[in-house]
Structure 1
């Protein structure tokens, strides 16, 4: 018997028809840190929810086989029955919160389990210190950044002292430093307390170094094994693994340190070549800002303040022309989202000026504002209100006063195979993003703003998104993307602006800015200084790049 681990024994699950999980068996021992890998839509979230009973109790469907956690049978138990055994953190922290304050949320589960008040206070304090929440423990959840909310959600799952912790993309809303802090904390839980961690994450470059083992879920089947072996056989792998594939390195290596030990010969081969002068995503010509005429966007001295004296944006200047591809980066809470909304005109602006083509969007009505700047929020579903995809497209056509079918055509150009009769909230992450982007583009705004658009997308989908946004820039749009995703930035951006405490601390060519930053440098740059993507390396070596992260296949939907 597995005393503290997670075991699946011939488990199958289906809503209707084709099973999402097909005769899945694996055994994670107590104190194992396991990484769950697979394409978008493979069923990773379904597998995770089966561990604590969310599947099928809250999803419907049929489960066969046996699931145990720390020797206890999961089938027949509800998530509430298993709360002391399995901690679960979903993709959307807000959906799981039951209170409105940080400390109350952390204490809630322990209260429901009847934990002694003194022991509960001790646990809450330990979790606050473990996850770096001391500065926000007395704040309202609504006032936190998305990354801070993610850490609170992880903390709430840990307070009950579970034997197993299951996490679905726990670092998707975190900046690289905050992600390392959370993953290091999980690593300590595994090694010091023997907690079994099963974690799904699309940003594999962040997690692989911490994992003891991996599971590959593809086509309903699971393959288990060492991290390097599983990632080497996976259709979805981080850049360092793809670099090892094209270079023929054994393993392949899954950490920067391992890759550097193999890289000497590759560096010699590349010494005869020079990296491109700017980022060049596959399938797209390089673009440069227009030098003719006035800038498209001119923001001067922008301030955004919230009640309580919180200054989110502090005197930011940002000038940009058409055809620019700008990545807005910085730690959680640095002011990126607040700046985007201030530029778009809908959000709060306490001071300064913003002009798009000479017009301040804040002075215009919403319909006219959408023709100046379009913003796709971090949750694309926030833009989607209709019952079907077709109705969303029709509504966008009417709001934009454009010919019928305009939005539908834009959507078809972005991604194929979206069912027009489907409910928008039933779409995959990539499909929802594409629909929100199509709705935004229907009004033909010259300035396009996106807030964390790569959450929930695997590597092929992110490459395709980078190429699509690049084409929009080539067509004359100025595209500004707020992102924590350094690998996406390497594929997409020609210019990087870094914020810290609401101020611009760096602004320049992407290759120059990210290469000089240990925090924001992509994996390839850490192994091969001066180079940013696998596709650049493959092109320089004169190889096809098949299987490389820069291959450019796929679409915004992903797998």
Structure 2
């Protein structure tokens, strides 16, 4: 169905090619998973399938890409629209209409399908993705996860033979991600649709994949069965890391496979327990919010929430898509709507409500990185953004660049922010906000587009912020990140807080929020591979 024949892609003649002499074939009805470091070339590979590379992205393509017998050199994306459906990393940038129902119908209108067919497919897709209640909602009022599902639905209504998805679950809560992946696998197994899917959260997808295309970052593509390829790569989900630690061969790709083999490991760990959290010093308030209310036309996003944040604490804010997480963060920061309630930040300047301050001063009290980090970037180069961040916050020259290098090393300073991958753009926006060193830092889905190694660096950076006395809130659907990072977990639903406790208390009590290690080793209270590794090392050390 898809053939790459000695494909090399270059964006600059003197720069390294993201794809170098790539030859591979994806058969009809395969689910092919694409993985690799942030910026390794995954998006370039996906965009080459429907001709966006090089027809719209620029650069040069050597070799040939053939899809269903059509050579992309002679067939631009418009000629492949009936065969290939593409969903990019940023769904909002791809929308062309105003409401959900209109967006689902738009692609079919361009293919001149009969109205009766269009109506039937719209209804089927609304039900398939669980978004029927959103049909009349304006697209810009949806949460990031809801927008993601609409973008996928807009492609599915055209019934493409090839479906290309660039991080389709990055903005989805665990349950919604399972629903989307179940729908995708049904398309593969029941209709023979060929799916090429790039994803950083391999733990969500690898059990469904027929093949794994791994991009090491040097232009090559390593091709093979997922369990085989994952044996020798540096990027691996917790389940694979646990399998390596336990010496399992072949490596497990699902929790079920791992549990069947984990009896001996559970026995070895039975006498131990994860280390208890370090006792916190006397809690010191960094921010106090009372009775916060946020309303939008037709909905109450935040319904009278109380929130207390402590100095030196990392809080994970979780909940299904549309539960009010982002609205709460924007209301607390002061830039978003707040129809009721109070927010007080306590710092060196005394107690103040960020909403009462000019934007540049509010940023020094509460920093917020939104789900669409490009909203914070407005200059022509990476170096320009870093220099401006240092200047505006009166930080030492190079402060912003040093933070950026912790997240994604070696990013070219002359690159335009719009030419960065989603993960690189997010890292830049995060570095810009952290340069101001506010006492409270709010991060809305900060690891979208980041690979496992970048997430480890992110965890180290956030823990460093907490150690320096800052309060950090991370709104995320990434349960593996929360298990490794958070001191406390707050869960929201329908604009209210429904759970608030330590990370272990909240995550172990909910199958939806439990990380892979917890599912494999239950009922023992282990959350991360690092905890298990430390316990095994302690067993081997003499008493």
- Which range, TM-score by smaller chain? over 0.9
**Compared with structure 1, are the counterparts of its residues 370 and 492 closer, same or farther at alpha carbon in structure 2 (3 Å cutoff)?**
same
**Compared with structure 1, are the counterparts of its residues 266 and 121 closer, same or farther at alpha carbon in structure 2 (3 Å cutoff)?**
same
Q: Which residue of 2 aligns with 1:10?
A: 6
- Post-superposition offset of 1:414: 5.7
- Post-superposition offset of 1:290: 4.6
Which residues of structure 2 form unaligned runs of 5+? Answer: none
Q: Take 2:447 and 2:457, find their aligned partners in 1: how far apart are those partners? A: 11
Deviates more, 1:517-526 or 1:395-404: 395-404
- Post-superposition offset of 1:425: 3.1
- Post-superposition offset of 1:498: 0.3
The answer to whether the 8 Å contact 1:34/1:198 transfers is: yes
Q: Take 2:404 and 2:181, find their aligned partners in 1: how far apart are those partners? A: 36
Q: Which residue of 1 aligns with 2:250?
A: 251
Count of matched residue positions in the alignment of Structure 1 and Structure 2:
530
State the SS of the aligned residue for 1:362.
helix
- Post-superposition offset of 1:402: 4.6
State the SS of the aligned residue for 2:64.
strand
Q: Which residue of 2 aligns with 1:133?
A: 131
**Compared with structure 1, are the counterparts of its residues 523 and 413 closer, same or farther at alpha carbon in structure 2 (3 Å cutoff)?**
closer
Q: Which residue of 1 aligns with 2:494?
A: 501
* In the alignment, structure 1 residue 331 sits paired with structure 2 residue 330: no
* In the alignment, structure 1 residue 275 sits paired with structure 2 residue 268: no
- Post-superposition offset of 1:163: 0.8
1:164 to 143, 162, 165: 162
Q: Take 2:207 and 2:263, find their aligned partners in 1: how far apart are those partners? A: 21
The answer to whether the 8 Å contact 2:89/2:422 transfers is: no
Q: Take 2:25 and 2:89, find their aligned partners in 1: how far apart are those partners? A: 24
Q: Which residue of 2 aligns with 1:142?
A: 140
**Compared with structure 1, are the counterparts of its residues 191 and 263 closer, same or farther at alpha carbon in structure 2 (3 Å cutoff)?**
same
**Normalising to structure 2: TM-score of the pair?**
0.93
The answer to whether the 8 Å contact 2:291/2:341 transfers is: yes
Which residues of structure 1 form unaligned runs of 5+? Answer: 279-285, 545-559
Q: Which residue of 2 aligns with 1:291?
A: 282
**Normalising to structure 1: TM-score of the pair?**
0.91
The answer to whether the 8 Å contact 2:9/2:20 transfers is: yes
Q: Which residue of 1 aligns with 2:434?
A: 441
What does residue range 88-103 of structure 1 map to in structure 2 within 5 Å? 88-103=86-101
Q: Which residue of 1 aligns with 2:354?
A: 361
What does residue range 40-189 of structure 1 map to in structure 2 within 5 Å? 40-189=38-187
Deviates more, 1:79-88 or 1:263-272: 263-272
Q: Take 2:417 and 2:64, find their aligned partners in 1: how far apart are those partners? A: 34
Q: Take 2:125 and 2:435, find their aligned partners in 1: how far apart are those partners? A: 46
Q: Take 1:216 and 1:385, find their aligned partners in 2: how far apart are those partners? A: 33
Q: Take 2:225 and 2:387, find their aligned partners in 1: how far apart are those partners? A: 49
Cα RMSD over matched residues?
A: 1.9
Q: Take 2:410 and 2:185, find their aligned partners in 1: how far apart are those partners? A: 40
**Compared with structure 1, are the counterparts of its residues 58 and 543 closer, same or farther at alpha carbon in structure 2 (3 Å cutoff)?**
farther
The answer to whether the 8 Å contact 1:289/1:322 transfers is: no
Q: Take 1:406 and 1:225, find their aligned partners in 2: how far apart are those partners? A: 42
Q: Take 2:424 and 2:181, find their aligned partners in 1: how far apart are those partners? A: 29
**Compared with structure 1, are the counterparts of its residues 428 and 189 closer, same or farther at alpha carbon in structure 2 (3 Å cutoff)?**
closer
